[in-house]
Amino acid sequence: MRKFLSLLLVISFVNVYSQSTVNMTGTVLDSLKKPIEVATVYLSKERDSTLVEYTMTDAKGNFKLAFNKVSEPAIFKISMVGYKDFTKKFDKGISEDIDLKTLILREYGNQLDEVVIVAEAPPIRIKKDTLEFNASSFKVRPDANLEELLKNLPGVQLDENKKITVNGKPVNEILVNGKPFFNEDGAVALENLPAEIIKKVQITDKKTKKEKFTGEKSRSDDASINITIDEDKNKGHFGRVSGGYGTEDHYESGLFLNTFNKRRKVSVIGSANNINAVGFSMDKVFDNMRTGRSRGGLTESRMFGLNFVEDVSDKLKVNGSYDYNFAETEQANKSSSTKFLPSGQFSTNSNSASLGGNEGHRGNLSVDYTGEKDAFYFSPNFSKDHTYSNSNSDQMSFDENGDKLNSSTSTNSSKSNSVSFGSSARYTRKLKQKGQFFSVEMNNSNQNSTNDALRESLTQFYQSDKADDWRRQYRQDNSTTDNYGISVEFTQPITDSLSISVGTEWSRRQSINDLQVFNYNEKEQGYTDLNVLETNRYTTIGNTVSPYVNFALNKNKYNINVTTNTQIVKNTATALYNEKWYNLDTRYVNPNVNAMFNYRLSKDNSLFAIYRYDVSYQSANQLLDITDISNPLSTTIGNPDLKPRGQHNANISYRSYNFQTRAGYSISGNVSMYDNSIVGSVIYDEDKKAISTYKNIQGNYQWGITGDWFKNSKWGEHALRYGIMLRYNQTVSNGYIDGATYTATGNTIGPRVYLTYDYGEWLSIKPSYNYNHNTTNYTNFSVDKASNFTHRFNIQTTSYWPKKVTFGNDFAYNFNSQIASGFKKDFYMWNISLAYDFYKDKFSAKVKVYDVLNQNTSSTRTIDPMQIVDSESLVLKRYAMFSITYKLNEFAGTKNKGNKGRMGGSRPMRAMSY
């Protein structure tokens, strides 16, 4: 009976929905009767311009607009850049299907640049390579931020880690009015930029500063988002200040203040907490609770940041920032590992505890000058860090019969300081011919660091007559790294679509590592005895000259970019060890290739492919024939016969999005193949002490494929966004172990299903499920296979009813199979928050509980080519907290007003020709 009633309810809902939905169809042509693709078709209410529905025409000019019946006067429009809008009014609303047949859009004349049109902007528009959304056409809650607005835009996706993709293309830059908003990754803008002041969201291919100035096509597969601010709101202040205190003396506080006008922006951020929230986050519902659970250990942190942007003139812009960070973390870990050898296997159990911290200062400045013919960019940066750590650990290894092999205990304390400075500068000059330009670029980075450490350890061996290894040492490590580079390039157009660039790059890198080790002298009660076997000094100097040629072919449908260069390298490695000098000079001539292909099959479909081949070089400690005995359980010896490693990388992706169905998918594949991979060759003695060196080996590679399908649906107040993602990856690793070669083939498959349901401004439900399966097959090992899988189910619900009340619920179940005995396989993670807005919504009071069931754990299983490691570490457990947040939103012409989701009102807009 219950099944029958449920079925009847579903049928009734479908009938009601189908009876209330009408369809408007037609075909859009130009004056020559040719179809117009990606014209925006939309319907809005005459009364307040509220958007009813929109779509875009396909390649044949056809459209289908599906929406609920409209009982009041409505305006139907078709908009396309370069054409006059088509407008039709329905005075009595629309209650039945309508076929508008063929509709003609008329082109503007040659004087389009001088025409000023007073009209409302369409919800979406494609202009050349830019996808543009009219923000006011997409309804969001009154106090929504940029993140919530982006989630409502077709083709835009944000995953649980707030990584953004547009039609499957990753977004790695968010700008506001063309400039960074604190950082280019946009994390601060996502959570703090109010939706109500946003005018447009523009999405383009990400370009370098040089590409923007010269007009070159992007050589990247990443996207960039630029947020434009309403001109009448482009002056004001907004921000939030919050503070909270909870059980077990947990606390948190956050500050974000921003003041801006058309030429200047100043932002201040700050936070302090002891709930594992390193960095800055001010999520309105869950605060830092999702961040805290992803970190092992218990962390107390503080940070402060200042950022400013100044448009000195239309040509000169200055951007600078300063950051202070402090974090102290308490760690406690236990692990159980099984290492596989051709002759058998052995296991190791270990425990460790530590308390360590880092305090850092960072600053940077960028100066941009962009004229008609010249562009200059200069950006210096600096950092200063102080770190400290105190730790102790113990471990015990057993053979297959359970007999002891070796054991070790150690205590360590250290402190270090480092200072670094870097800069980059570039000058670009446009020459007489269009597309002809010259550029020169210089960069440097310089770092100096010192580390002082006290170390005590005892290592014992049980299956041989080796003496116990007892060490009590003071270690002083000084290192310096200097890098310099300069490049010169000239670009000459050959035809309207083909250009060639020639240039050369020069670089010099030098690293010096000076380690002195002193043993404790019982008689003198101090660290006075120099340990010559562990004291060493390594110097590596590399000089590289790389002449190159670049070909760029840009067509309407596709563009191809190929760069080939020859690296002429001289590496010098020098070391002082055991009072003896070691020297080795190596010279190489290697090719490098970078090729990119981008093909737009249509406005909705694109294909991108890239291939790279490059070479990486050996370090001094890998090359020099020196024995490193600093680890009592592992001795390492360099190999002068090592060759550089070559790497082939190829990626291809196909993306499709249909604006009519609001559905899209992307498929991407990648492969990496390695020449002369540098691997460790390890031999174990009878106590399983490792003696290793470095060797080259062939045959290592990895490949993977990822597919993603997603769709948006909406009817009335109901909205659904859902999709499925599937990842598969295979890694083949060849190596040497215990005097023999081995092959480990790892396979990983991970489907993910996700859904978001929104009911108007009142309710949001987000369930998701992740499955991950790892299998590794071994050749020439004591075992043939190792595998495990994990499940993760998460459901996040947010309710905004009753008015002024926000309730958040975040529940997850995690399961890890085949984890070792003594480690927890599964746990539930449940976070809740309840907030109330008061005093004209300027204040918000919140109560939240982290880890309601007190089950948080960090049990993990890692499978790599030679071992399985099960581990568990100290994590943040249950706490409750009460907090108060003050919100400041004051803009020109408005004060604490929300975005009501209205259609953009009439405003003057200068028409543009493309």
CB distance 301 to 271 below 8 Å: yes
Confidence of residue 18 (pLDDT cuts 50, 70, 90): very low
Per-residue pLDDT averaged across 753-766, rounded?
A: 93
Q: How far apart are CA 69 and CA 88, in angstroms?
A: 17
R_g of the chain, CA atoms, integer Å: 31
pLDDT of residue 19: 46
Distance between start and end Cα atoms, the chain: 63
Confidence of residue 893 (pLDDT cuts 50, 70, 90): low
Q: Say if residue 268's pLDDT is above 90.
A: yes
Residue 728 pairs with which residues in a beta bridge? 705, 749
- The pLDDT tens digits of the residues spanning 632-643 come to 888 999 999 999
Q: How far apart are CA 42 and CA 154, in angstroms?
A: 14
Q: How far apart are CA 194 and CA 905, in angstroms?
A: 19
Q: How far apart are CA 304 and CA 279, in angstroms?
A: 9
pLDDT of residue 109: 61
pLDDT of residue 181: 79
pTM of the full structure? 0.85
In the three-class reduction of DSSP (H, G, I as helix; E, B as strand; rest coil), residue 180 is classed as strand
pLDDT of residue 293: 52
Mean pLDDT, the chain, integer: 88
Question: Tokens 């029958």 label which residue?
Answer: 4
Burial class (CB in 10 A: 0-12, 13-18, 19+), 496: exposed
CB distance 227 to 161 below 8 Å: no
Q: Kindly state the helix (H) or strand (E) to which residue 703 belongs, with its residue range.
A: strand 701-715
pLDDT of residue 271: 92
Phi, psi (rounded to 5 degrees) for 135: -60, -40
Per-residue pLDDT averaged across 684-689, rounded?
A: 87
Burial class (CB in 10 A: 0-12, 13-18, 19+), 789: middle
Q: Give the number of other Cβ atoms within 10 Å of residue 9's Cβ.
A: 10
Structure tokens at 95: 């209650």
- The pLDDT tens digits of the residues spanning 729-747 come to 999 999 998 888 889 999 9
- The pLDDT tens digits of the residues spanning 96-144 come to 999 999 999 998 765 444 333 445 678 998 887 889 999 988 888 888 8
Question: How crowded is the C-beta side of 559, counted as CA atoms within 13 Å?
Answer: 17
Q: How far apart are CA 218 and CA 485, in angstroms?
A: 23
For 557-575, the DSSP string reads: SEEEEEEEEEEEEEEEEEE
- The pLDDT tens digits of the residues spanning 446-493 come to 999 999 999 999 999 999 888 999 999 999 999 999 999 999 999 999
pLDDT of residue 347: 93
Residues in contact with 661: Cβ distance below 8 Å, sequence separation at least 6, in sequence order: 711
Q: How far apart are CA 120 and CA 46, in angstroms?
A: 12
pLDDT of residue 913: 27
Lowest mean pLDDT among 235-249, 254-268, 279-293: 279-293
CB distance 350 to 389 below 8 Å: no
Q: Say if residue 168's pLDDT is above 90.
A: no
CB distance 55 to 65 below 8 Å: yes
pLDDT of residue 527: 95
Per-residue pLDDT averaged across 272-283, rounded?
A: 80
Q: How far is CA 905 from CA 42, 46, 72, 288, 890, in A?
A: 15, 11, 18, 37, 21
Q: How far is CA 298 from CA 277, 354, 851, 873, in A?
A: 10, 11, 14, 10
Residue 584 Cα to chain centre, angstroms = 40
Q: Say if residue 688's pLDDT is above 90.
A: no
Q: How far apart are CA 207 and CA 230, in angstroms?
A: 24
Lowest mean pLDDT among 321-325, 425-429, 639-643, 780-784: 780-784
Q: Say if residue 291's pLDDT is above 90.
A: no
pLDDT of residue 907: 34
Question: How crowded is the C-beta side of 118, counted as CA atoms within 13 Å?
Answer: 2
Q: What proportion of the chain, given as a percentage, has pLDDT over 70? A: 92
- The pLDDT tens digits of the residues spanning 365-405 come to 999 999 999 999 999 999 999 999 999 999 999 998 999 99
Confidence of residue 902 (pLDDT cuts 50, 70, 90): very low
In the three-class reduction of DSSP (H, G, I as helix; E, B as strand; rest coil), residue 15 is classed as helix
Per-residue pLDDT averaged across 236-244, rounded?
A: 91
Q: Say if residue 292's pLDDT is above 50.
A: no
Structure tokens at 135: 């923000």
pLDDT of residue 294: 53
**Residues 588-606: b if buried by 16+ CB within 10 A, e if exposed:** eebebebbbbbebeebbbb
pLDDT of residue 340: 83
Question: Tokens 């000023």 label which residue?
Answer: 116
Phi, psi (rounded to 5 degrees) for 790: -130, 145
Structure tokens at 327: 């974090």
Secondary structure of the chain: what % helix, strand, coil (to 5)? 5, 65, 25
Angle at 833 between CA 141 and CA 813, to 5 degrees: 105
